């Protein structure tokens, strides 16, 4: 992840209950029927693809700095870094 950006194009994320780049909280009152280990792997692949899609859309805006009201989880941090986007959280 870049440590310094000049002439930054900044994207501000906030204004809703999450206000950051995090996976949704899991609600305690649900069940998942896992029929095979592949089912778990497929679920994880789908979640990873959703994160990639979000970061790809951010990159398409031309932003090279993302500032969030809340946190940014490590999966999003890694993807942003791969795109050369600086991430600033909890602002």
Over the stretch 28-52, which tens digit does the pLDDT of each residue have? 566 767 788 778 788 889 889 999 9
pLDDT at 70 over 90: no
pLDDT at 27 over 60: no
* pLDDT above 70: percentage of residues in the chain: 86
> 3-state DSSP helix/strand/coil percent for the chain, to nearest 5?
35, 15, 50
The alpha-helical segments, DSSP class H, found in the chain are 37-60, 74-82
Domains in the chain with CATH codes: 10-22+35-88 (3.50.7.10)
- Residue 91 pLDDT class (50, 70, 90 cuts): confident
Using CA atoms, how far residue 62 sits from 8, 15, 23, 72, in Å, is 10, 21, 23, 19
- Residue 59 pLDDT class (50, 70, 90 cuts): very high
Q: CA angle 76-52-36, nearest 5°?
A: 100
């Amino acid at each position: 992840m870049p440590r310094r950006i000049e002439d930054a194009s900044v994207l501000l994320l906030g204004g809703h209950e999450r206000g950051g780049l995090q996976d949704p909280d899991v609600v305690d009152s649900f069940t998942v029927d896992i029929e095979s280990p592949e089912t778990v792997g497929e679920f994880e692949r789908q979640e990873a693809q959703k994160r990639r899609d979000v970061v790809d859309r951010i990159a398409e805006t031309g932003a090279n700095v993302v500032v969030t009201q809340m946190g940014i989880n490590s999966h999003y941090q890694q993807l942003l870094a791969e795109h050369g986007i600086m991430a600033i959280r909890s602002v």
